Amino acid sequence: MQTRRERIAELLEETEIPLTAQDICTALDIKSRSVVYEDVEHISISVKNRGKHLLIRPASCGKCGYVFSKRKAAKRPSKCPKCRSEWILLPAYLIRERKR
């Protein structure tokens, strides 16, 4: 039986399009996005040992288009620093083989 993190990692490896925390919650019947964000941070470390890496499409502002490219945390930011909008498009994730 797989752990929740193993199921999330497997889902992110098999998908063709980047998945948001909400997509992962829906696919795996997980109740809380915050749990998924925490798991994604741990998964990003553990996949390195298997020669893979976690690709992140960063969160962005839906109003002005600002991209949170330098953000280290996996979770969704609350406000745009540029326009102060709370319309934030969620970050999305994929796991792929590391290119040599």
Q: What does residue 60 show for φ and ψ, rounded to 5 degrees? A: -145, 160
The CATH code of the domain that includes 62 is 1.10.10
Q: How many domains does the structure of the chain reveal?
A: 1
Selected residue with higher pLDDT from 71 and 94: 94
Q: Give me the domain span that covers residue 51.
A: 4-97
What is the chain's mean pLDDT, rounded?
92
User: What confidence category does residue 20 fall into, taking pLDDT thresholds of 50, 70 and 90?
Assistant: very high
Cα–Cα distance for residue pair 71/84, rounded to 1 Å = 16
The predicted-structure confidence for 60-89, as pLDDT tens digits, reads as follows 999 999 999 887 777 778 999 999 999 999
How many angstroms separate the Cα of 37 from the Cα of each of 25, 29, 65, 99? 10, 15, 22, 25
Q: What is the pLDDT of residue 100?
A: 65
Q: Average pLDDT in the 16-33 region?
A: 95
Based on the number of CB atoms within 10 Å of its own CB, is 29 exposed (0-12), middle (13-18) or buried (19 or more)? Answer: exposed
Q: What is the pLDDT of residue 99?
A: 78
